[in-house]
Amino acid sequence: MAVTIEEIGTLVRLQLGRRNVSAGDRFMEDLGAESADLVNIIAAAEDKFQVSFDEADIPGIRTVDDLYEFIKNAFGDQKPF
Amino acid sequence: MRRELGNMEKAEATTNEHFPFNAVIIIRISSGPAKKTLQSLLQYLQRRHPLLGVHIHKEKNRYFFVSEGTPAIPLKVVKRQTNDHWQQVAEEELNRDFDMFTGPLIRFTYLLGSGSKKESEIVISIQHAIMDAVSAANLIHEILSFFRETESGGSVEEVKTMEPLPSVEAFFPPSFKGLRRKWNTFLFVLRQIGDEFRYRVRTRGQRKPPVHPTGKCKILPMKLSKELTTALIKCSRKKRITVNNLLTAAIIMAAHKHLYDGQKRPLRHFNTADLRPYLIPPLDNQYFGSYFAMMMFTVGMKENPKVWELAREINDFVHASLKRGDKFGANLLSYQMMRTLFRYRSFRMANTALSYTGSILMEKNYGSIEVQDIHAFVSNFVLGPEYTALVKLFDNHIYWDILYLDSDMDHEQAKVIADEIRTILESAAKEES
């Protein structure tokens, strides 16, 4: 199974209750996410895509696209499905 | 450079007129660099960051950062005596104020080891007005990167000076500009007054944090195991609660049990909120400065509280408050709050305070230098909270850098509270697994 940027966008939109989200949007700067929102996004991504995020990785995931790349790479490493 | 201080900067700088208010960072390394390298580092830092080369000028009730005539960053090199020598130096530095009107507002102490591993500590003291936690993490990374560059023969001669920035208020979002700023600040003040009123009524006849005439800062570092750290992160994420709010619940519960006999009552807590990502334009972490807010809130403590329930309550409350933009209101009112505190000297800011910086982006090795530990403390004073901590995640461990005043408690009692925090967190991890 391959993850798409659209799926990540939908997940972020649902978690933040926003209508529009672009790949380049930064979670805090552009989408106004607070730390609790980020926890929700990461936890939702873990549940949906069965991946695991190391806490040290999280500061490097700043945009929707970063999240997509992280999950895509995790799939590449883990081949979960 | 000459620019007027913003509200938060003024609150931090004027605190120094009463008590020292310093951030003290300790970088513990092996294969410590030569004194000459450190001297070059200080020249580099002062050329690169405008705020590391300023003093404060006061004109009537206005305060300015002024660079002209500010001396070089002082460096004191001391022969390292024992593994714990840094703790004594850190306490001295937390209790030693800055001559704000001469500057600079930063100084270095180098505890130079002589053993085969050359274990050493760099102790950096900074007046809080020029640096927040984000800047501090960046400063550590910059220092260690400088050592690596120097070791590999890289040139650090050409220093690009960072652009001096105005105070944080210039970057506030539209909701805190012009008339909307007045209205939103007014609403924030109303909420604070309401909270203050309820707090006073509900704590009538109960123990209040005592106001002692003097008190010295004492430190108590605590490191959580890798297993506990991993379990706490995992559980917090599963519960959709930030690690910050879980740790906040733990410190409040521990203080509640040991300082307030676990009675049903409200307790007041301070945490910090980073403003940088929410400014317009957002501010890069490379810029040193004080771009944060101190957020105060009150928690109604029950008898025998449950850690996850309390963490959930704090999580939801803090999230709603941040979303409302209270962080900007808190920043704007910080100077007024400190003025009131120092005018009356009859009450203390809070019962507890915690600042969690999360995972700091740092490598374990910088060339031949290996980073052993990083610690950071902020001075407290007799009108500040009773029990405070700076907490961070580094190398898969949660580090608690706890600070208390010797007028409030002795080392034994501080240790009892710290052990209680650990027990609470261990039970939180077990409960969830």
Instruction: Return the CATH number at A34.
Output: 1.10.1200.10
Residues in chain B: 433
Locate CATH 3.30.559.30 in chain B: 173-359+378-432
CA-CA distance, B373 to A27, in Å (whole number)? 30
Would A23 be classed as within a structural domain?
A: yes
Q: Closest residue of B to A59, CA-based?
A: B359
The answer, for A5 touching chain B at a CB cutoff of 8 Å, is no
> Does position A79 have pLDDT exceeding 60, yes or no?
no
The answer, for B318 touching chain A at a CB cutoff of 8 Å, is yes
Contact B359 A39 (CB under 8 A): no
Of the given ranges (A55-59, B8-12, B310-314), which has the lowest mean pLDDT? A55-59
pLDDT mean across residues, chain B = 94
Assembly ipTM: 0.89
> Does position B432 have pLDDT exceeding 70, yes or no?
no
A-to-B residue pairs, Cβ atoms closer than 8 angstroms: 50
Q: Which residue among B240, B315, B323 places its CB closest to the CB of A43?
A: B240
The pLDDT of residue B415 is 98
The answer, for B240 touching chain A at a CB cutoff of 8 Å, is yes
Integer angstrom CA distances of residue B160 from B54, B61, B140, B354: 17, 34, 18, 35
Domain B2-151: assigned CATH number: 3.30.559.10
> Does position A78 have pLDDT exceeding 60, yes or no?
no
Question: Read out DSSP for B320-350?
Answer: HHHHHTHHHHHHHHHHHHHHHHHHH-SS-S-
Instruction: Enter the tokens of residue B184.
Output: 């939103």
The answer, for B355 touching chain A at a CB cutoff of 8 Å, is no
Strand arrangement of the beta sheet that strand B106-112 belongs to: B75-79, B106-112, B120-127, B22-30, B369-378, B365-366
- The residue among A29, A37, A51 with the most chain B CBs within 10 A of its CB, best to mutate, is A29
B173-359+378-432 sits in which CATH class? Answer: alpha beta
B2: buried, middle or exposed (CB in 10 Å: 19+, 13-18, 0-12)? exposed
> Does position B179 have pLDDT exceeding 60, yes or no?
yes
Between β-strands B352-359 and B2-4, what pairing exists: parallel, antiparallel or unpaired?
unpaired
Distance of CA B271 to the CA centre of its chain: 9
Instruction: Enter the tokens of residue B4.
Output: 């007027």
> Does position A2 have pLDDT exceeding 90, yes or no?
no
Would A32 be classed as within a structural domain?
A: yes
The answer, for A58 touching chain B at a CB cutoff of 8 Å, is yes
Share of chain A above pLDDT 70, in %: 93
Q: Closest residue of B to A55, CA-based?
A: B359
The answer, for B361 touching chain A at a CB cutoff of 8 Å, is yes
Q: Closest residue of A to B311, CA-based?
A: A36
The answer, for A60 touching chain B at a CB cutoff of 8 Å, is yes
> Does position B288 have pLDDT exceeding 70, yes or no?
yes
What are the backbone dihedrals phi and psi of residue B308, each rounded to the nearest 5 degrees, phi first? -70, -35
Mean pLDDT of the region B5-10:
96
- Residues of B in Cβ contact (< 8 Å) with A37: 319
Contact B244 A35 (CB under 8 A): yes
The answer, for A47 touching chain B at a CB cutoff of 8 Å, is no
Return the SS3 of A59. helix
Mean pLDDT of the region B192-219:
93
Contact by Cβ (8 Å): B400, B365: no
Locate CATH 3.30.559.10 in chain B: 2-151
> Does position B16 have pLDDT exceeding 60, yes or no?
yes
Residues in chain A: 81
For residue B49, give the nearest of B165, B147, B151, B153 by alpha carbon: B165
Instruction: Enter the tokens of residue B38.
Output: 């450190």
Instruction: Enter the tokens of residue B254.
Output: 């521990």
- Residues of A in Cβ contact (< 8 Å) with B240: 36, 39-40, 43
The answer, for B175 touching chain A at a CB cutoff of 8 Å, is no
Q: Which residue among A26, A35, A53 places its CB closest to the CB of B242?
A: A35
Between β-strands B120-127 and B106-112, what pairing exists: parallel, antiparallel or unpaired?
antiparallel
Contact by Cβ (8 Å): B369, B195: no
Contact A40 B240 (CB under 8 A): yes
- Residues of B in Cβ contact (< 8 Å) with A55: 233, 243, 358-359, 393
Mean pLDDT of the region B364-387:
94
Would A46 be classed as within a structural domain?
A: yes
B115 vs B231 pLDDT, higher one: B231
CA-CA distance, B167 to B8, in Å (whole number)? 9
Q: Which residue among A34, A40, A43 places its CB closest to the CB of B322?
A: A34
Would A81 be classed as within a structural domain?
A: no
Question: Residue A44 sits in which domain range?
Answer: 5-76
Of the given ranges (A54-58, B325-329, B398-402), which has the lowest mean pLDDT? A54-58
> Does position B163 have pLDDT exceeding 50, yes or no?
yes
Q: How many domains does chain A have?
A: 1
Contact A39 B318 (CB under 8 A): no
Mean pLDDT of the region B144-162:
84
- Residues of A in Cβ contact (< 8 Å) with B277: 26, 28-29
The pLDDT of residue A81 is 36
The helix (run of H) or strand (run of E) holding residue B371 is strand B369-378
Share of chain B above pLDDT 90, in %: 91
- Residues of A in Cβ contact (< 8 Å) with B241: 36, 39
The answer, for A56 touching chain B at a CB cutoff of 8 Å, is yes
The answer, for A35 touching chain B at a CB cutoff of 8 Å, is yes
Would A61 be classed as within a structural domain?
A: yes
The pLDDT of residue B159 is 84
Contact A43 B238 (CB under 8 A): yes
Per-residue pLDDT reduced to its tens digit, B402-422: 999 999 999 999 999 999 999
Would A52 be classed as within a structural domain?
A: yes
| Side chain identity, residue A80 | P
Contact by Cβ (8 Å): B19, B212: no
Per-residue pLDDT reduced to its tens digit, B260-286: 999 999 999 999 999 999 999 999 999
